[in-house]
């Protein structure tokens, strides 16, 4: 699904109309029906960029030769370490010269995420950490074990049942982070009970590739295309909704629901959901962000940044 961008002025009348129709989230009953096409279609012509970051091993830890190995290969001591990526609950770390792991001939080992701490400064100046403030709460879905889930059932089925991010943090290009704070302030000025709920921000290229391999449908998960990849990979895209008093507004579908109802102008939406989607879009377009018609929750700032593969 290709983006179809529109611009609309943020005017008081649209806020008043939308605010009069705001309600609570009522997901549709239809389950997700994403097509599981062959992941063999994924073959980037250029390998993803490598962006290891300097981190700290908080204490001595067992290290493994692979992300899913069951037997430890060596031990890593506390101290500085270069971290390459996150997978299966572990971070890939380059052992320091002279360490037991390096002496065993291992150039990269995997340690449990609880032993690794990555400072915010590791991503600077390309990415800035967004923290919770009045009007903004973080709900980083891809740091959970319930990803790409069906909606409308008491026992949701999920395509991915393990975290894709090691830390539930939101990082964005600094201009985008500033826009997000502006949006939160605008909501609070209108109604202190309203706030943004953030689902996803910067996404490592490695994670984009893994998502596409697991879903295999470019209509719902963008195929990784070097060298630009996607807006999330460049830190310029955000996925979010609006909630009132901690309850998501009715947008006609839940986040990441792989059906046509997620299209901004989907047919069959209740008037309340139509108004709430317009409220969200008018707010963000008025601040200079671009919407994506295929996903009502997705917005980006049209600035030039490079794709990044910093581990989260």
- pLDDT at position 222 is 83
Cα(245)–Cα(56) distance, integer angstroms: 38
The residues, any chain, with a CB within 8 Å of residue 298's CB and separated by 6 or more, are: 237, 238, 239, 291, 292
53-119: CATH topology is SH3 type barrels. (2.30.30)
Beta bridge partners of 227: none
The pLDDT confidence band at residue 46, using thresholds 50, 70 and 90, is low
What pLDDT does 8 receive? 37
Each residue's pLDDT tens digit, 232-258: 999 999 999 999 999 999 999 999 888
**What residue ranges of the chain are covered by domains with CATH 2.30.30?**
53-119
Give the other-Cβ count within 10 Å of 77's Cβ: 14
Torsion of CA 90, 95, 96, 102, to 10 degrees: 160
Checking if the pLDDT of 195 tops 90, the result is: yes
Report, as an integer, the average pLDDT of 159-185. 96
Q: Output the six-digit token pair for 281.
A: 């879009």
* pTM of structure: 0.84
pLDDT for 218 = 79
Average the pLDDT over 72-96 and give the result: 94
Give the residue from 250, 272, 249, 252 showing the smallest Cα distance to 264: 252
The neighbouring-strand residues paired with 110 are 64, 92
Which ranges in the chain are annotated with CATH 3.30.1380.10? 12-41+121-300
Q: Does the domain made of 12-41+121-300 have the CATH classification 3.90.1150.10?
A: no
Distance, CA of 282 to CA of 10 (rounded, Å): 5
């Amino acid at each position: 699904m290709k983006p179809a961008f529109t611009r609309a002025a943020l005017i008081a009348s649209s806020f008043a109309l939308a605010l009069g129709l705001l309600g609570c989230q009522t997901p549709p009953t239809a389950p997700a029906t994403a097509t599981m096409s062959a992941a063999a279609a994924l073959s980037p012509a250029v390998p993803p960029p490598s962006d290891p970051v300097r981190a700290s091993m908080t204490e001595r830890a067992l290290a493994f030769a692979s992300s899913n190995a069951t037997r430890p290969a060596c031990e890593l001591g506390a101290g500085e370490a270069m971290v390459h990526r996150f997978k299966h609950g572990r971070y890939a770390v380059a052992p320091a010269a002279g360490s037991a792991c390096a002496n065993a001939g291992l150039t990269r080992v995997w340690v449990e995420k609880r032993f690794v701490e990555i400072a915010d400064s590791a991503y600077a100046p390309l990415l800035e950490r967004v923290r919770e403030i009045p009007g903004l709460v973080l709900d980083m879905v891809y740091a959970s074990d319930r990803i790409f889930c069906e909606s409308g059932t008491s026992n949701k089925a999920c395509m991915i049942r393990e975290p894709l991010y090691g830390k539930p943090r939101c990082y964005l290009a600094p201009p985008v982070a500033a826009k997000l704070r502006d949006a939160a302030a605008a909501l609070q000025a209108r109604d202190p009970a309203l706030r943004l709920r953030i689902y996803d921000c910067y996404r490592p290229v490695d994670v984009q590739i893994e998502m596409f391999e697991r879903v295999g449908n470019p209509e719902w998960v963008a195929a990784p295309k070097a060298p630009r990849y996607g807006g999330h990979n460049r830190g310029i895209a955000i996925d979010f909704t609006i909630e009132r008093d901690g309850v998501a507004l009715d947008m006609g579908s839940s986040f990441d629901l792989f059906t046509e109802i997620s299209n901004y102008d989907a047919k069959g939406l209740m008037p309340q959901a139509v108004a709430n989607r317009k409220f969200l879009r008018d707010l963000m377009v008025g601040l200079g962000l671009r919407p994506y018609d295929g996903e009502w929750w997705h917005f980006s700032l049209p600035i030039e940044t490079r794709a990044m593969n910093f581990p989260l």
